[in-house]
Amino acid sequence: MDLHLAGLRALVTGSSRGLGYETARTLASEGAQVVINARDPQRLTTAASQIHSETGGRTEALPGDLTDPLVPGMLVARAVEILGGLDLLVTNSGGPPSGKFEAHSDEAWQKSIDLNLMAHVRLIREALPFLRQSKAASVLTITSYSVKQPIPNLVLSNSVRMATIGLTKSLALELGREGIRFNSILPAWTDTERVQELMEARAQINTTTAVEEIEKQARESPMGRMGTPQEFANMAVFLLSPCASYVTGVMLTVDGGMYKGTF
């Protein structure tokens, strides 16, 4: 199926590894021009090189910390300069620390808000003038299925990501008549470096091993396993593509059935 992504210009943040990386790689494989972002310049440069080598697509690296209020504007401006415009925006950021409610200070809450809400706000705000010039404008926020089914020991993520869902739905309603689509994917447990880190933290609490915690978590899925980054990226790239031109305001769980609710 041709997703009609060839030549479209994309900025994907939080994309040196995990879900962001796989989304950027899949966009490039479909012919999109991609700018990727992460905090670690060396890891980001390696990721861009890998994507280009595998797909042959144009892939540029722009390092920057999304919690810095000045960075989102810089990223968008440089991406537009490099690509000559912007059609697709994927707002993705790392997750906040694990821990129970009383373990987190005001500073930890503020850092989580900057990372998992304000980074989305600032990126979208800066990108809007350029998205308005696109005939295929699409924004995808990456959140978590925890907004529907809170995950134990992740109170920061459970709480703050819900605000990003409210933002995404509001913008879909507000800007739909301008031809800009807004959707979000709510992944469950996926085999990424971030999940490995969370499983190691669980193992310390439960005096088990990370492997045991991964197996335990996988059993909660009707499919008996965690998802893969490629399975996530397949849905992300479809939602971003012109083939999903009448899909907006959707909060899509990509979770192998881990979310047990009906709606």
Structure tokens at 4: 């009609």
Phi first, then psi: give them for residue 218, nearest 5 degrees. Answer: -60, -30
**Helices 71-83 and 119-131 meet at what angle, rounded to 10?**
30
pTM for this entry? 0.93
> What does the buried/exposed string (b/e) look like for 164-181 if buried means 16 or more CB atoms within 10 Å of the residue's CB?
bbebbbebbeebeeeebb
Instruction: Using only the alpha carbons of the chain, give its radius of gyration.
Output: 18
**189-243, pLDDT tens digit by residue?**
888 877 778 788 888 888 898 888 888 888 888 988 888 999 999 999 999 999 9
| Contact by Cβ (8 Å): 243, 3 | yes
Q: Which residues pair with 99 in a beta bridge?
A: 154
The structural domains of the chain, with segments of one domain joined by +, span 9-188+228-254, 191-226
Q: What's the start-to-end Cα distance of the chain, in Å?
A: 29
Query: Would you call 118 helix, strand, or coil by DSSP?
Result: helix
**56-112, pLDDT tens digit by residue?**
999 999 999 999 999 999 999 999 999 999 999 999 998 888 899 999 999 999 999
CATH topology of domain 9-188+228-254: Rossmann fold (3.40.50)
Q: Which residues pair with 59 in a beta bridge?
A: 34
